[in-house]
Chains A and B, each alone.
Chain A
Amino acid sequence: ETGVTQTPRHLVMGMTNKKSLKCEQHLGHNAMYWYKQSAKKPLELMFVYSLEERVENNSVPSRFSPECPNSSHLFLHLHTLQPEDSALYLCASSQDRGGQPQHFGDGTRLSIL
């Protein structure tokens, strides 16, 4: 039990679909993160939220749209994705922005047809 739960675990979607990834943390943390993990590449930080406010957006295409309605929940809304967006998407949380360690969920494996 990591304390960070991601759903769904696997998602297959066409390029014209709209779907959302969900992350929930039960650790009382104030910061949440979205990462993209692709084969043979370092983890890429996509977004950072601190106290429900987006504090970092690392040049992520607009087809990825994050939402943080409260400090326990984080969503990643997906729209008109490309095949190169197929990857494992990991959510993480930490006590505060920059706090260590970060606690990771098990990820959502996304495949774009």
Chain B
Amino acid sequence: GDSVTQMEGPVTLSEEAFLTINCTYTATGYPSLFWYVQYPGEGLQLLLKATKADDKGSNKGFEATYRKETTSFHLEKGSVQVSDSAVYFCALFTGGGNKLTFGTGTQLKVEL
């Protein structure tokens, strides 16, 4: 079945540091890939997405590239802020399963 593997957190960074959160997936067919973010006390919000190989999704300074050859969709940001502190979820969607499959989430803490 489909699955998503994320690096375990928490990830703690200083403000303005470079962020990478790894995500790899296993899926039948050609999935669409997503990053969702969950701020404290809130539900999940779509951060960015990519629907086919080599697509780059980007939003709010975050970006991720759909790498079919390595089945990866790593999240990156060049300079994090305290306000980026949240839990980040990688997810995939395939038409065959017709549902989102989520990773376990990675908590990011950004300190001054």
Is the Cβ of A43 less than 8 Å from the Cβ of B89?
Answer: yes
Surface stretch bound by B, among A12-20, A62-70, A102-110: A102-110
Is the Cβ of A42 less than 8 Å from the Cβ of B104?
Answer: yes
Q: Is A32 an interface residue (CB 8 A)?
A: no
Is the Cβ of B98 less than 8 Å from the Cβ of A97?
Answer: yes
The answer to whether A106 and B95 touch (CB under 8 A), given A42-B4, A42-B103, is: no
Is the Cβ of A100 less than 8 Å from the Cβ of B43?
Answer: no
Is the Cβ of A100 less than 8 Å from the Cβ of B104?
Answer: no
Tier of interface size on chain A: 20 to 34
Give bound CA distance, A58 to B42, whole Å: 24
Is the Cβ of A104 less than 8 Å from the Cβ of B45?
Answer: yes
Cβ-defined partner of B99 (8 Å) among A4, A6, A56? A56
Is the Cβ of A104 less than 8 Å from the Cβ of B44?
Answer: yes
A74-113 vs B, CB cutoff 8 Å, 1 = contact: the mask equals 0000000000000000101000011011101111000000
Q: Is B102 an interface residue (CB 8 A)?
A: yes
Give bound CA distance, A1 to B49, whole Å: 21
Cβ-defined partner of A107 (8 Å) among B32, B34, B43? B43
Give bound CA distance, A4 to B101, whole Å: 21
A59 to chain B: which residues have CB within 8 Å? none
Is the Cβ of A100 less than 8 Å from the Cβ of B49?
Answer: yes
9 nearest A-B residue pairs (beta carbon) = A104-B43, A101-B46, A43-B102, A104-B44, A42-B102, A98-B98, A106-B43, A106-B42, A105-B43
Chain A residues with CB under 8 Å of chain B are 2, 4, 6, 40-43, 45, 48, 56, 90, 92, 97-98, 100-102, 104-107
Listed by A's residue number, 21 A-B pairs whose Cβ atoms lie within 8 Å are A2-B45, A4-B43, A41-B104, A42-B101, A42-B102, A42-B105, A43-B44, A45-B100, A56-B99, A90-B43, A100-B49, A100-B93, A101-B34, A101-B46, A102-B46, A104-B36, A104-B43, A104-B45, A105-B43, A106-B41, A107-B42
Chain B residues with CB under 8 Å of chain A are 4, 32, 34, 36, 41-46, 49, 89, 93, 95, 98-105
